Amino acid sequence: MFLCLSRLSLRLGRVSRCHGDRRLIATVVSGTKTARDVKQRLVLQVEQMQTHFSGFRPGLVVLQVGDRDDSNLYISSKLKAAAEIGINAKHIRLPSTTCQDEVLRNILALNEDPEVHGLIVQLPLDSDKPMDQDLITNAVSPLKDVDGLSCVNAGRLSRGELRDCFLPCTPQGCMELIRQTGVSVAGKQAVVIGRSKIVGAPMHDLLLWNHATVTVCHSRTKDLPDQVSRAHILVVGMGRAELIQGDWIKEGAVVIDCGINYVTDESRPSGRKVVGDVHYASANQRAGFLTPVPGGVGPMTVAMLMQNTVISAQRFLQNQTRT
Ligand code: NDP
Answer yes or no: is 127 within a domain: yes
Distances (CA, A) of 221 to 184, 197, 199, 237: 27, 18, 17, 14
- Tell which of 149, 184, 203 closes a domain: 149
Global pTM value: 0.94
Answer yes or no: is 154 within a domain: no
Which residue ranges in the chain fall short of pLDDT 70? 1-23
CATH of the domain at 106: 3.40.50.10860
Answer yes or no: is 111 within a domain: yes
Can you give the pLDDT at residue 13?
A: 33
CATH of the domain at 277: 3.40.50.720
Same domain assignment for residues 61 and 100: yes
Same domain assignment for residues 258 and 110: no
Same domain assignment for residues 290 and 175: yes
Same domain assignment for residues 203 and 103: no
Q: Does any ligand 1 atom lie closer than 6 A to the CB of residue 228?
A: no
Can you give the pLDDT at residue 3?
A: 42
Answer yes or no: is 38 within a domain: no
For the chain, how many structural domains are there in total?
Answer: 2
Q: Measured from the CA of 296, which atom of ligand 1 is nearest?
A: 41
Q: How far apart are CA 189 and CA 212, in angstroms?
A: 6
Q: How far apart are CA 66 and CA 18, in angstroms?
A: 56
Measured in Å, residue 143 CA sits from the centre of ligand 1 at 27
Vertex 253 angle, CA 31 and 3, to 5° = 55
Q: How far apart are CA 69 and CA 151, in angstroms?
A: 28
Q: In the Cβ-directed half-sphere of 161, how many Cα atoms lie within 13 Å?
A: 10
Best probe residue, ligand 1, of 137, 149, 196, 308 (max atoms within 8 Å of C-beta): 196
Can you give the pLDDT at residue 4?
A: 44
Q: Which domain holds residue 118?
A: 56-149
Q: Among 264, 189, 201, which residue's Cα sits nearest to residue 233?
A: 189
Same domain assignment for residues 286 and 171: yes
CB 24 within 8 A of CB 16: yes
Q: Measured from the CA of 193, which atom of ligand 1 is nearest?
A: 21
CB 213 within 8 A of CB 207: no
Same domain assignment for residues 143 and 171: no
Vertex 253 angle, CA 181 and 169, to 5° = 55
